[in-house]
Structures are given as structure tokens and as C-alpha cells.
Structure 1
Amino acid sequence: MPRPSLEFFSALDNPCTTQTHYRAWVIWRNPGLRVVDFTRVRDAERVNARELFGESLAAPTDLARQILNSETATGATKVFTTTVGADGPGAAPLQTLSEEDREKLREQLKRATSLDEISRIQRALRGGAAAL
């Protein structure tokens, strides 16, 4: 359901964020958003969202209609579905990291520039999944 006054939205570490068009869908459904997942919404993203899903809810594209029909048929919580592994969505199978790989991840962590990148590296270090 659109929230006209919603300006900041984050679903980091939520499996829905791995879905195709996730960010564009959130922007299209909530036109007042200024920040999604700690990243500012750009005008180009708004244009892209309108191209993908239509100018408004009153005139959705086929793709938007398909997703909207999924919402009404299965409930909004099941629009975006994923398979979640032990370490979260899209994680590599668990395996033991060598000390060399762990050191590489630690170095990447020191150079990380976004919260998403830091979160991914920390999960890899904790879970032993190779995310190099």
C-alpha cells in the first residue's frame, strides 16, 4: 500500500531486496521517497520506475499489473519470494574459509564504503561463506 508521506525506507537484509526491480517497485509505489536502503533516490530512478510500471497506479504497465495481481491474490507479504539459505538470500553454500580468505575479507571490510558492503562482508566472516 503506498504511503504518500513516507520519505525514508530500508529493507536491508530482507530477502525481498534480491528481487528484480525491487528498488524501482518501492520507488514507484511510494513517490515521496527520498532515500531507499540508505541510498538517495535519483530522478533517473523515478523515470525508470515509471517506464517499468506506468505513470500511476491508475495506468499500470503489464509488469505492474502482474505484480499487483500477485499482491491481491497472495497477500502483499508474498509478492517477492526468494529461497533463503542458512546465511540469507543469495549466500554461497557454507564452507570453511582459509586464513588467507579471512584476511582478504578483513581487508575488504577496512576499505568498505557502504553499509550494504559492510553487512555482506560481516556475514561472510561470521558464516564462513566465501564472498570474495
Structure 2
Amino acid sequence: MVRLTADLIWKSPHFFNAIKDRELDLRGNKIAVIENLGATEDQFDTIDLTDNEIVKLENFPFMNRLGTLLINNNRITRINPNIGEFLPNLHTLILTNNRLVNLVEIDPLASLPNLKFLSLLDNNITKKPNYRLYVIHKLKHLRLLDFRKVKHKERMEAAKLFATKEAEEAAKKVPAKTFTPGEVKDSDSASKPDHGPRVVGPTPEQITAIKAAIVNSQTLEEVARLEKALSTGQIPAEFAVPTKDASNSNNTNNTGKADQMEVDKNENQDSKGNQDEEKQETDDATPIEED
């Protein structure tokens, strides 16, 4: 475990990112607790805490400038109920691939007055019934949830579904659709063999290419999409390489062509040999004239 010290903050990379925001890069440091962010002196528009071991989204100083917080691939289970008091201008929060389970756990985000872009992908909370409508109901200013635009129809449906306090409380008590060890799957799905393609991890070349693409990305959506590809191992089509099966197929085709050429060659040789034998027999059968 690494502590987030003032010294670590000062030594970490900071730069203007693709959208011209001043960004502090604290990713991949195995940080477990958010602390000492006052050392930033509120000089950054974006802070990247991706790929750490943070459990609680709390302990922020007052940061009026901070607009984007990237904290995907951590272990977040709890959010400070008063987070909005310390991050009044936070508009983008990426919480992809954390450990949020219950709907009540995102209620503190309602205290963020300017939150417009939120990702909760790859959290168990997304498996809750009416998850999306609940989040839309709680976060009135949200424009993009899980990289999908929040539509007016969804807002109306959410308002209707959670019109009463009782309906809201009931939604919080519904368990998530998670797999329980020992649970028997549906007999139809269990009896069907899985013929889907086997997922193969990315090659070092693909990882390097994706990381380069992240650096050159122009939007947060593109950054999150590529980071998710790295974390899940599901490589986007533009980085795919020919599979081994395809190579084997080509080799098989080439081998088949070579075999066919050899057969044709042998047949031609046999045919020529037969013609020579017939000619020899004809010559032997020709009578010799005596003088």
C-alpha cells in the first residue's frame, strides 16, 4: 500500500490533456486512501486516480476548480454523503469497475450540483432492477449515464416510477441479480453448449497500441472505452490481429493447393508414361521388311 503524500503529488506527472484541461496523473500507485490533496493547491481541472486500491470516495479538501475525477478500477464501496460541499464544480465522475452494490450507495452523488457525466459500468449496482431510472431520478442534472444519453422519456418514466418515497425505498431493498455459488442455472441455458469464441488476452503489441491511443484520445468517452478494453481484455476491432485459426486455415488451403498440384503433376507423368509405352508397342508391332 502506498500513501498519497504531498511528495507523491508533487512528483507525479501533470500536463494539459487532450481537451486542454490541466491534469494530475496519480494512476497505478496502489493508493488505498485519499489524503493530502490540499497539496495540489486546487490547480487542476482533472485528477486521474485510476488503477489504485481506494475503498472510500472521501476526504477531499475544498476544490473549486476540479471538474473531472477519474477513479475507475478501484475498490470504491462508500461515498462521502457531503461530497458536494467539497467538489461544487465536479461535472464528470468515472466510477467504472468498482464495488458499488446497492442503490443507496450512490445517493451522496445527489449533493454534487453540477454532475452531468457519470459512469458506473462494471459495478454490481448496475444489475439492480430499475438501476438506470433510479440514478436518473436521484441525479436531476445528469446528461450522460454509462456513456448513454439521458432522454426526456427516461426522466418522465423515472419521475413516475419513483413518485413516492415508499417506491424509492422499495427499490433500494431489491437484491441485485448476482450469481450465487451453488445456484442452478436455467436448464435450457445449462444444456446448450457454448460455441462462442474463446476470449484471448491482448498481446503486448496490442496493449502498447491501446495505451498510445489513450494518450491521443480526444474525448473522455474514448479514454474510458479504451481503458475498459485494457481492464477486461476485450480488444476493440481496430486493434484486432488475425487469429491463429485464420492462419491455420490459410496454411491448410495452401497445403491443399500444393497437394493438388503434386497430384496433377503425377497424373501428367503417368499419362506421358502410358503414351510412351503405347508408342513402343506400336513400334514393336511394325513388321520389318526384308531385302
Structure 1 residue 80, shift from structure 2 partner: 5.4
RMSD (CA atoms): 3.8
* Bigger mean CA deviation after superposition, 40-49 or 13-22: 13-22
Secondary structure at the aligned position of 1:9 is classed as strand
Q: Provide Cα deviations, 1:20-41, integer angstroms capped at 9, x if missing partner.
A: 1100000000000000000010
Where in structure 2 are there 5+ consecutive unaligned residues?
1-107, 182-188, 201-224, 236-291
Alignment of 1:81 onto 2:185: no
Alignment of 1:66 onto 2:178: no
Q: Provide Cα deviations, 1:1-29, integer angstroms capped at 9, x if missing partner.
A: 21332101111111111211100000000
Structure 1 residue 85, shift from structure 2 partner: 6.7
The equivalences for 1:1-132 within 5 A come to 1=108, 2=110, 3-54=112-163, 60-67=164-171, 70=173, 81-84=176-179, 101-102=196-197, 122=234
Kept in 1: contact 2:129–2:176 (CA 8 A):
no
Question: How many angstroms apart in 2 are the aligned matches of 1:85 and 1:66?
Answer: 22
- Deviating above 4 A after TM superposition, structure 1's stretches of 4 or more consecutive aligned residues are 118-121
Question: How many angstroms apart in 2 are the aligned matches of 1:52 and 1:22?
Answer: 12
User: Residue 58 of structure 2 aligns with which residue?
Assistant: none
Kept in 2: contact 1:52–1:61 (CA 8 A):
no
Kept in 2: contact 1:33–1:41 (CA 8 A):
yes
Kept in 2: contact 1:5–1:32 (CA 8 A):
yes
Kept in 1: contact 2:117–2:144 (CA 8 A):
yes
Question: How many angstroms apart in 2 are the aligned matches of 1:4 and 1:53?
Answer: 20
User: Residue 241 of structure 2 aligns with which residue?
Assistant: none
Secondary structure at the aligned position of 1:122 is classed as coil
Question: How many angstroms apart in 1 are the aligned matches of 2:146 and 2:116?
Answer: 11
- Give the number of equivalent residue pairs: 89
Pick the structure with greater CA Rg: 2
Question: How many angstroms apart in 2 are the aligned matches of 1:36 and 1:63?
Answer: 22
Question: How many angstroms apart in 2 are the aligned matches of 1:121 and 1:20?
Answer: 27
Question: How many angstroms apart in 2 are the aligned matches of 1:8 and 1:85?
Answer: 32
Where in structure 1 are there 5+ consecutive unaligned residues?
55-59, 71-78, 87-91, 107-114, 124-132
The residue type equivalent to 2:129 in the other structure is: T
Q: Which protein has the bigger helix share?
A: 1
User: Residue 214 of structure 2 aligns with which residue?
Assistant: none
If asked which structure has higher relative contact order (CA below 8 Å, sep 6+), I would say 1
Q: TM-score, normalised by structure 2?
A: 0.25
Identity, in percent, stands at 28
Question: How many angstroms apart in 2 are the aligned matches of 1:67 and 1:85?
Answer: 21
